[in-house]
Amino acid sequence: MPFFIYILLSKKDGKRYIGMTSNLEKRLLEHNSGLVKSTRNRIPFELIYNETYDNKSEALKREKELKSKKGYLS
């Protein structure tokens, strides 16, 4: 099962959100439906970037890297 790292852009406040999921379409729908507590006040979101990984541990490692200042995509 593939895992995805994704970056969303809030159209409301212009800030980005980085996350990981095994179902990218479903997760984007959850974010835009207000079902994700940490982002519900910032909807709507646009998917601006994603990467695919073969396993969860690689995806988690990359998510952590992107969330650090060192690995964050500008």
CA distance 62 to 14: 23
Instruction: Indicate the CATH number for domain 3-67.
Output: 3.40.1440.10
Q: Provide the residue ranges of all domains of the chain, joining segments of one domain with +.
A: 3-67
Residue 68, CA atoms < 13 Å, CB-side half-sphere: 8
pTM: 0.90
Residues 6+ apart with CB under 8 A from 38: 17
Structure confidence by residue, pLDDT tens digits, 11-38:
999 999 999 999 999 999 999 999 999 9
Percent of the chain residues topping a pLDDT of 70: 93
